[in-house]
Amino acid sequence: MTRDESIDLVRELEEELDLDGVLPLYQFTWYQDIGSRPDERDAILRLAQDAYDEMCRRRPDARLGWVTWPHLSPDAVETSEAGTRPDFLLDPDGAEARARIQVLVVDQLDP
């Protein structure tokens, strides 16, 4: 895992955040294709954390929050409590996929 890999991941995900105003945290691992690389899970999670930290550094306007699937809009986000740790894993077939998921959100201003 290199700094370049982290920056590349941030660039990919930042585009999605800018477009939608909300970014599910599971994207930090899904973009790395975690499902087909279970033997690399720890490295993938480390890169996800590094990319998340870099995204937050670059985007001080971003905040961690929760949404209830499938309502992925900035208006639906409930801000996380201070000290909440990011969770980058999501089982798409599990109950959590149909419940609350963590997201990064930026409040978009009307033009």
pLDDT of 111 higher than 50: no
**Which whole number is the average pLDDT over 19-27?**
93
**pLDDT digit string, tens, across residues 33-66:** 877 888 888 999 999 999 999 999 999 999 999 9
Q: Which of 56, 51, 60 is nearest to 10 (CA)?
A: 51
Q: Which of 29, 51, 50, 49 is nearest to 40 (CA)?
A: 29
CA–CA dist 14, 103 (Å, integer): 13
**pLDDT digit string, tens, across residues 53-102:** 999 999 999 999 999 877 888 999 999 999 999 999 876 566 655 678 89
CA–CA dist 23, 25 (Å, integer): 6
Q: What are phi and psi of 83, to 5 degrees?
A: 85, 0
pTM: 0.84
